[in-house]
């Protein structure tokens, strides 16, 4: 039930809106103020359990390895027979082995969990180790450092020549691209859609890479035309950054003034509706050879 | 005689102008749509978010202006001039900011007897609807938990109910903000977190909760007086033999299968059915241990008899979901013509981008449509029930799978009986989904993959024709590439032929609901969804912008 994207996009929207605030003045006059504590306290998505001493954890892990891992996996994340204990409500609710002990001592024999001959103290050590394991709804995407280059470089080169070579070349703008963008995942995200600013941590481009900006031509009813970088547009206003760096705003009224947008990445947008995943993987496999 | 009448109405007006009346809500009133209040999450039980008010209409909307604005200060320190903060809570953390903590008004704001009730996570306010002054502020010291968007309060008689992120339901005196009691509704140790707006139906208080780890979803009905549980409905099979178990690998998978209930549903008083959408199955993306089945009743529209807690029917809108496409969107109950006959229907626009029309008494499938032209997570053909079929090739890949993200989300849609159209906030966007674990068991919760955004093609108001399931019109919000995408906002539509919502650029806009033409706007930066009511002879339109409330009426 991840809501984060909508919220964070929204937060950015509001931030953008504040920077470029136009229109109604609200009259809300509350001054800047610091509410409550000066430093945000530590907020966790689950109880922040105190960690047991290392010798307890070592004993617990050893005991688990000998008695439990065969069924529940060496990481307690589940095996062929035994369920994942990390997400088990018994384990999550347990404090120091008190809920785990009855089951180890045979309460679920009818459900296939055999009785294990462990003392309450041993079970408490196992519980301490179980409670020290990170149990989170999210995982570190880079934990296994998986190579995302799975495509065929030859097919990728052929596809590149057919589809991309009108604008790009391996000896021109993309020369040495794989040396500039050494992270293959970043390289792939970058060539799919460059300069999606502010999103996904991909916004910082290495030196030497340039993504042209979206420009626009505004034609006023007088016939005057104004060109500039399209900085902001909504249903009511157009904001252009002119070549001298100044910002010029135009109020919109239906089709007036006329707005013509020049998006240098328009073809990238269109291609995103056409690529197969194989095309994408192949082109990346080709681009990573351009060192 | 005329003069007498005039003075009598002046007398009534005088009484109405007095602040702080009874501040009580008879649950029977919720059965009759009221225009002088906004007494429940969607304004009424239908979920239509349609108001019959016409004082503000197309001919005068240009004169819509700010009546007042007020800023609310979360935390334990009152805003200047505000009364002392009432502090409660079982925890020790007074969370007032930081990353991942939502500090905006992003839910429903109730209005009863001239008093507004607004929330942020850990905070509840009562605000005078006539001038915006703060009447009371309740703050909750938390144990922790995912502090996601709070969806608002519920009201029963003179009590206010709110879910706190660390899973306490708190009952407050509507008049004073003093706490009457609080109850745990789900277990923080199991990583639940709560944000749903409680829904009052008669003497039932319905509360749901959320979870991103692999724990089961449920809806509970509580006694609003005592908080005692009346019934609990698990959205997934909890043991062998439970209905739907055949759609899971085993009971361990199903009882850790998610399907959480975090957005209010709608209610049909004629059938006593409460109809709501359930969240995604878990593990959300790496689904191998769930088995190949549909994973009922996750991502499903479920109809429950509110008296018994028993399911009357279900319709799964995203069988075997693998994209975190919660079907937690507020469904809309519509009585209307269908194939030449009157029909009692329920409409839903799902996060997976599909639109459904069902018979709301039986659950019979009537129409499937699409809210977007860029959906690519599913196969071209629907299944035998009219539901989409997920394409495993688009789940994820080591090299990344290019797939659409959420087309809509919890911000609610609206329906106008005047146009026959349902208005859905939508977004066309793609991301790459990378498989980031080689563990054959997959990962728990939302783990095991990485979603990296690629593009937002645009955000829209999408008007759906329920008779055909086709898009009647779409208004694409123009944006420059340097502006952020996304930012879906909920809808309000009125008999004054106005459709209110917020765009991604911070404008609060009134559209023509017939064609999506913008008629009025104010740049306030909308963070929740608009509502409307009559107060002292004026029609108000109220909207929140992060920590502020803005009340508009005709100048």
Tell me: the pLDDT tens digits for B486-515? Answer: 568 999 999 999 999 999 999 999 999 999
Interface contact flag, B518 A77, Cβ < 8 Å: no
Residues of A with CB below 8 A from B550's CB? 26
Average pLDDT value over all residues in chain A = 84
Tokens linked to B363: 């659950």
Among candidates B73, B76, B503 on the partner chain, residue whose Cβ is nearest the Cβ of A234: B503
CB of B262 within 8 Å of a chain A CB? The answer is yes
The B residues from 74 to 103 touching A (CB cutoff 8 Å) are 74-77, 79-80, 92-98, 100-102
CB of A180 within 8 Å of a chain B CB? The answer is no
Among candidates B187, B402, B455 on the partner chain, residue whose Cβ is nearest the Cβ of A269: B455
Q: Which helix (H) or strand (E) holds A159?
A: helix A153-163
Distance CA B150, CA A114 (A): 44
pLDDT at B13 over 70: no
Nearest residue to B44 via CA among B149, B199, B150, B160: B199
Tokens linked to B375: 């959906």
CA-nearest residue to A5 within chain B is: B486
Tell me: the pLDDT tens digits for B290-348? Answer: 999 999 999 999 999 999 999 999 999 999 999 999 999 999 999 999 999 999 999 99
CA-nearest residue to B165 within chain A is: A45
Gap from B76 CA to chain A (nearest CA, Å) = 6
Q: What is the pLDDT of residue B335?
A: 97
Residues of B with CB below 8 A from A288's CB? none
CB of A267 within 8 Å of a chain B CB? The answer is no
> Rounded mean pLDDT of B80-84?
91
The A residues from 135 to 154 touching B (CB cutoff 8 Å) are 135-144, 146-151
Interface contact flag, B454 A197, Cβ < 8 Å: no
Phi-psi region of B258 (alpha: psi -120 to 50; beta: other; left: phi over 0): left
Residues of B with CB below 8 A from A73's CB? 441
Q: What is the pLDDT of residue B487?
A: 67
Gap from A59 CA to chain B (nearest CA, Å) = 24
Interface contact flag, A139 B448, Cβ < 8 Å: yes
The interface predicted TM-score of the complex, written ipTM, equals: 0.92
> Rounded mean pLDDT of A182-193?
93
CB of A111 within 8 Å of a chain B CB? The answer is no
Give the list of residues 6+ apart from residue B53 with CB closer than 8 angstroms, or none. B35, B494, B495, B496, B532, B533, B534, B539
Q: What is the pLDDT of residue B99?
A: 61
CA-nearest residue to B147 within chain A is: A45
Among candidates B66, B452, B527 on the partner chain, residue whose Cβ is nearest the Cβ of A14: B527
Residue B33 — pLDDT band, cuts 50, 70, 90? confident
Please state which of the ranges A143-157, A204-218, B424-438 shows the lowest mean pLDDT: A204-218
Strands (E), chain A: 215-219, 225-233, 237-241, 247-251, 258-262
Interface contact flag, B487 A146, Cβ < 8 Å: no
Q: What is the pLDDT of residue B402?
A: 98
Residue B418 — pLDDT band, cuts 50, 70, 90? very high
pTM of the full predicted structure? 0.92
CB of A80 within 8 Å of a chain B CB? The answer is no
CB of A273 within 8 Å of a chain B CB? The answer is yes
Q: List the helix and strand counts (H, then E) for chain A.
A: 11, 5
Nearest residue to B273 via CA among B306, B299, B226: B306
What is the maximum span of chain A, computed from C-alpha positions, in angstroms? Answer: 92
Residues of A with CB below 8 A from B454's CB? 189, 192-193, 196, 272
Distance CA B354, CA B372 (A): 8
% of residues, chain A, pLDDT over 90: 70
Please state which of the ranges A82-86, A251-255, B221-225 shows the lowest mean pLDDT: A251-255
pLDDT at B10 over 60: no
Tell me: the pLDDT tens digits for B84-94? Answer: 999 999 999 98
Give the list of residues 6+ apart from residue B26 with CB closer than 8 angstroms, or none. B157
Tell me: the pLDDT tens digits for A196-207? Answer: 444 444 445 666
CB of B478 within 8 Å of a chain A CB? The answer is yes
**Mutation test of the interface with chain A: which of B98, B123, B448, B454, choosing the one with the most A Cβ atoms within 10 A?**
B454
CB of A184 within 8 Å of a chain B CB? The answer is no
Q: What is the pLDDT of residue A17?
A: 33
CB of B251 within 8 Å of a chain A CB? The answer is no
Tokens linked to A81: 């027979």
Nearest residue to A210 via CA among A172, A159, A163, A242: A172
Interface contact flag, B432 A150, Cβ < 8 Å: no
CB of B428 within 8 Å of a chain A CB? The answer is no
pLDDT at A39 over 50: no
Distance CA B441, CA A82 (A): 12
């Amino acid at each position: 039930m991840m809501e984060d994207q909508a919220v964070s996009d929204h937060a950015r929207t509001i931030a953008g809106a504040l920077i470029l605030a136009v229109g109604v003045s609200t009259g809300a006059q509350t001054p800047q103020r610091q509410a409550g504590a000066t430093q945000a306290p530590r907020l966790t998505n689950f109880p922040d359990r105190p960690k047991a001493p290392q010798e307890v954890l070592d004993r617990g892990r050893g005991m688990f390895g000998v008695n439990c891992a065969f069924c529940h996996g060496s990481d307690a994340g589940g095996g062929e027979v035994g369920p994942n204990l990390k997400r088990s409500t018994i384990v999550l609710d347990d404090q120091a082995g008190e809920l785990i002990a009855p089951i180890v001592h045979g309460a679920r024999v009818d459900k296939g969990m055999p009785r294990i001959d462990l003392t309450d103290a041993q079970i408490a050590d196992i519980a301490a180790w179980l409670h020290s394991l990170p149990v989170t709804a999210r995982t570190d995407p880079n934990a296994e450092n998986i190579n995302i280059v799975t495509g065929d470089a030859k097919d990728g080169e052929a596809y590149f020549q057919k589809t991309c070579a009108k604008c790009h070349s391996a000896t021109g703008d993309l020369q040495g691209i794989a040396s500039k963008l050494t992270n293959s995942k970043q390289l792939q995200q970058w060539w799919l859609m460059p300069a999606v600013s502010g999103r996904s941590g991909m916004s910082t481009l290495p030196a030497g890479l340039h993504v042209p900006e979206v420009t626009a031509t505004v034609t006023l009813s007088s016939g005057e035309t104004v060109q500039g970088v399209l900085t902001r547009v909504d249903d009511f206003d157009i904001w252009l950054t002119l070549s001298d760096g100044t910002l010029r705003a135009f109020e919109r009224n239906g089709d007036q003034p006329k707005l013509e947008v020049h998006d240098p990445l328009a073809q990238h947008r269109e291609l995103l509706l056409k690529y197969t995943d194989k095309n994408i993987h192949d082109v990346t496999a080709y681009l990573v050879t351009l060192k | 005689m005329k003069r007498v009448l005039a003075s009598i109405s002046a007398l009534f007006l005088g009484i109405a102008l007095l602040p702080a009346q009874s501040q009580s809500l008879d649950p029977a009133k919720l059965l009759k749509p009221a225009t002088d209040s906004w007494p429940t999450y969607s304004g009424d039980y239908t979920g239509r978010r349609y108001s019959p008010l016409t004082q503000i209409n197309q001919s005068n909307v240009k004169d819509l202006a700010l009546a007042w604005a007020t800023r609310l200060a979360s935390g334990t320190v009152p805003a200047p001039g505000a009364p002392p903060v009432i502090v409660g809570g079982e925890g020790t953390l007074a969370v007032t900011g930081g990353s991942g903590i939502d500090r905006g008004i992003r839910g429903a704001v109730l209005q009863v007897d001239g008093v507004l009730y607004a929330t942020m996570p850990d905070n509840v306010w009562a605000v005078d609807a006539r001038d915006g002054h703060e009447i009371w502020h309740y703050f909750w010291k938390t144990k922790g938990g995912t502090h996601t968007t709070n969806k608002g309060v519920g009201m029963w008689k003179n009590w206010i109910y709110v879910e706190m992120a660390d899973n306490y339901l708190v009952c407050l005196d509507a008049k004073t903000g003093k706490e009457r009691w609080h109850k745990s509704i789900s277990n923080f140790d199991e990583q639940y977190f709560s944000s749903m707006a409680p829904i009052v139906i008669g003497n039932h208080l319905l509360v749901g909760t959320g979870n991103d780890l692999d724990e089961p979803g449920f809806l509970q009905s509580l006694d609003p007086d005592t908080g005692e549980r009346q019934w609990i409905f698990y959205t997934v099979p909890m043991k062998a033999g439970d209905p739907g178990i055949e759609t899971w690998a085993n009971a361990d998978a199903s009882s850790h299968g998610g399907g959480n209930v975090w957005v209010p549903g709608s209610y049909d008083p004629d059938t006593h059915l409460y109809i709501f959408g359930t969240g995604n199955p878990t593990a959300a993306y790496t689904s191998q241990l769930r088995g190949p089945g549909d994973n009922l009743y996750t991502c499903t529209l479920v109809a429950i008899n509110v008296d018994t807690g028993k399911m009357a029917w279900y319709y799964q809108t995203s069988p075997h979901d693998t994209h975190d496409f919660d079907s937690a969107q507020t469904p809309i109950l519509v009585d209307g013509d269908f194939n030449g006959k009157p029909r009692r229907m329920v409409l839903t626009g799902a996060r997976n981008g599909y639109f459904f029309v069902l018979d709301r008494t039986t659950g019979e499938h009537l129409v499937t449509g699409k809210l977007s032209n860029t959906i690519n997570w599913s196969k071209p053909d629907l299944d035998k029930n009219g539901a989409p079929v997920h394409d495993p090739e688009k789940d994820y890949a080591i090299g990344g799978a290019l797939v659409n993200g959420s087309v809509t989300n919890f911000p609610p849609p609206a329906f106008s009986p005047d146009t026959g159209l349902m208005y859905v906030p939508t977004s066309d966007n793609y991301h790459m989904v990378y498989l980031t674990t080689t563990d054959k068991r997959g990962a728990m919760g939302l783990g095991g993959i990485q979603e990296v955004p690629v593009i937002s093609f645009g955000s829209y108001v999408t008007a759906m024709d329920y008779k055909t399931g086709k898009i009647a019109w779409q208004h694409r919000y123009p944006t420059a590439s340097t502006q952020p995408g996304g930012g879906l906002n909920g809808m309000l539509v009125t008999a004054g032929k106005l459709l209110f919502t917020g765009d991604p650029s911070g404008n609060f806009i009134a559209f023509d609901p017939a064609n999506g033409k913008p008629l009025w706007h104010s740049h306030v930066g909308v963070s929740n969804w608009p509502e409307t009511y009559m107060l002292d002879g004026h029609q108000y339109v109220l909207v929140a912008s992060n920590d502020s409330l803005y009340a508009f009426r005709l100048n």
